[in-house]
């Protein structure tokens, strides 16, 4: 998951840049997520990643253009913003999956401690 985490982190940093939203989404996906091995993602994140891939590769490209560039070119800014949000949400979900469950540090007392 380390490679997936790093790719999602870099993509989210790209989303946070000052470029126009369509350019940010294209760069984030093309540079960091397009070649991501889906098996490196936690199982629960795979459907959302598949949704992102489908959203960003649905348009047939023109000569010399990638499917991502063609799809984003045809998108509205609002649709591109939804894709940007999906990328950030994938990072947040990956962070949650990466963080171990919090355990209680206090000792548990027996209900019958007086009898012990």
Whether the full predicted model's pTM is greater than 0.85, yes or no, is no
Asked if 94 and 5 touch (Cβ cutoff 8 Å), the reply is yes
pLDDT at residue 104 in the model: 46
Closest CA to 5 of 116, 99, 104: 99
pLDDT at residue 103 in the model: 47
**What stretch of H or E contains 53?**
helix 46-56
Asked if 32 and 43 touch (Cβ cutoff 8 Å), the reply is no
Task: Write the CA distances from 88 to 11, 83, 108, integer angstroms.
Answer: 8, 9, 38
Taking the chain (116 residues) in runs of 10, the rounded mean pLDDT of each run is: 86 96 97 93 93 96 96 97 96 81 53 54
């Amino acid at each position: 998951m380390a490679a997936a985490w790093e790719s999602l982190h870099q993509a989210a940093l790209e989303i946070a840049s000052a470029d126009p939203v369509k350019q940010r989404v294209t760069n984030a996906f093309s540079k960091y997520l397009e070649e991501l091995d889906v098996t490196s993602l936690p199982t629960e994140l795979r459907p959302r990643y598949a949704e992102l891939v489908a959203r960003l590769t649905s348009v047939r490209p023109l000569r010399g253009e990638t499917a991502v560039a063609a799809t984003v070119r045809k998108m509205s800014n609002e649709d591109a913003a939804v894709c940007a949000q999906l990328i950030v949400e994938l990072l947040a979900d990956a962070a949650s999956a990466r963080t171990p469950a919090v355990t209680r540090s206090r000792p548990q007392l027996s209900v019958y401690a007086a009898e012990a």
